[in-house]
Amino acid sequence: MKNITVSVCDEVYLEAQISTARLGTSVSALVKELLESMPENPHFPPELPESPGPPPPIYCETVKL
């Protein structure tokens, strides 16, 4: 079994701690469950947005005054 480290901002971690305490579990257990369920999830892997392609050409006009 591998250990991983995930960094989130303090506010996200606090919300995760509160939510998992209400569920009677831990943040670590919740993340583990989420990761283990990914292959069974019909939305996994998430669809990546289509490549936007090359940027449009830049047009430059010279105006004589």
pLDDT of residue 63: 62
pLDDT of residue 17: 93
Q: Where are the domains of the chain?
A: 10-40
pTM value?
A: 0.56
pLDDT of residue 40: 81
Which pLDDT tens digit goes with each residue over 8-56? 999 999 999 999 999 999 999 999 988 888 778 777 766 767 777 777 7
- Helix, strand, coil % (nearest 5) of the chain? 45, 0, 55
